[in-house]
Amino acid sequence: MKVLGIETSCDETGIAIYDTEHGLLADTLYSQIDMHNDYGGVVPELASRDHVRRVLPLINEVMKEAGCSQSDIEAIAYTRGPGLIGALMVGASVAKSIAWAWEIPAIGVHHMEGHLLAPMLEENPPQFPFVALLVSGGHTQLVEVQRQGEYTLLGESVDDAAGEAFDKAAMMLGLDYPGGPRIAALAEKGTSGRFKFPRPMTDRPGLDFSFSGLKTFTRNTVAEHGGEDCEKQTKADIARAFEEAVVDTLAIKCRRALRQTGLKQLVIAGGVSANQRLRAKLDKMVVGEGSSLFYARPAFCTDNGAMIAYAGSCRLQAGQVDEEGIRPVPRWPMSELEAV
C-alpha cells in the first residue's frame, strides 16, 4: 500500500509517500523558520497562509520523485492534531479533498504518535513494548508504549515544554528562533561548570517535569552578567549550563521510567531529540541500565511527512479510516487513540 502523508501542524509543510512493502519512497519539507524568525516565534496566521501556498506543489514534487501517478496512491494520511487550528485545517482540507476526488481512504494521524513512531523508519527500529520520551517545543512526556495506540502517560511537563524552554532561553541570550539549535551551537563554545543550574523536580519522586523555574534562573543569571550585552564567553557558558541542566533532567527521569516499568528499550522523539548532548547522555545512561536507545535521524526528529505517512499506513492496514467531514483537533490526548 502506497500512502501519501501530509504534515501541516505548525510551521513546516511536510509531504511524503510511504510504501508498506518497500519503505519510504520520497519525502520533502518546507520550513517557515526564516519567515517566523523576524517575530521570535510562530505567527499562526502566517503559518496557515504559507501551508496553503506550499502543500500542493510539494505533493506534486514527491509524486514525481517517487515515480507515482494518482492511481498508485491507495490512501492518504494527514495530521489531524494536535497543533495550530488554521494550519491543521489546511492539511485536513487538502487531504480529504484529494481522497474524495481519487476515491481512496484517508485517516487523520495524531502528531505526537507520528513522532513516537518515527524511529520505526530506521534500519534498526525498536520493538514493542518500550518507554518513549516525547520532547519538542510543545510537549515533554514520558509514555509507556505497549503497542501502537496503547499508551500510558508516565509523566509530563507541568508548565513549559523543554523545547519551549530552549526557545525562551535563546531569546534571553539574544539568539534567533528556533532556540534549540542556537543554544546547542553556542554551548559547544561554553565552559562546563562555571555556572551551576538547577535540575528541576529531580529531588523528589515522580516522572513529571518543570522547566519554568530553570527559565527564571537563566533570566536572572543573564541579568546579573549584563543581559543580552554580556560578553560572548559568558553567553556561551550560560548556554552550556542551561543545556546541561535540561539534558540531565531528562536523563534522570528517563532512568526512573525504565526502572519503574522494567522495560529495556528507550525511544526519544521530537525536535529536542536531535540534540547531540542529550543523545550522548542517554546513550551512556542506557548502557548502565542494560537497556537500548532508539531515535530517528535528525531530519525525522522535527515535523515531517514521513512519520505521518508511516503512522497512518499502520492504522490504515488495521482497517481504521476517517469518518466523513473535516474535523481537525487542536487539542488531542494520546489516551483517546485506538490501539492497532
Is position 86 annotated in a ligand binding site?
A: no
Is position 203 annotated in a ligand binding site?
A: no
CB burial of 76-110 (b: ≥16 within 10 Å; e: otherwise) equals: bbbbbbbbbebbbbbbbbbbbebbeebebbbbbbb
Contacts of 208 (CB under 8 A, 6+ apart): 155, 156, 157, 158, 201
Helix, coil or strand: residue 26: strand
Is position 134 annotated in a ligand binding site?
A: yes
Is position 138 annotated in a ligand binding site?
A: yes
Q: Give the phi and the psi of residue 147 in degrees, each rounded to 5.
A: -165, 175
> Does an H or E element contain 217, and which?
helix 212-224
Is position 167 annotated in a ligand binding site?
A: yes
Which grid cell sits at 39? 517575530
Is position 247 annotated in a ligand binding site?
A: no
Beta strands per DSSP E along 32-161: 75-81, 106-110, 130-135, 140-147, 150-156
Is position 237 annotated in a ligand binding site?
A: no
Is position 193 annotated in a ligand binding site?
A: no
Pairing of strands 2-7, 150-156: unpaired
Is position 278 annotated in a ligand binding site?
A: no
Pairing of strands 265-269, 150-156: unpaired
Binding residues for Fe cation: 111, 115, 303
Residue stretches of the annotated binding site: 111, 115, 134-138, 167, 180, 275, 303
Sequence ranges of the binding site for substrate: 134-138, 167, 180, 275
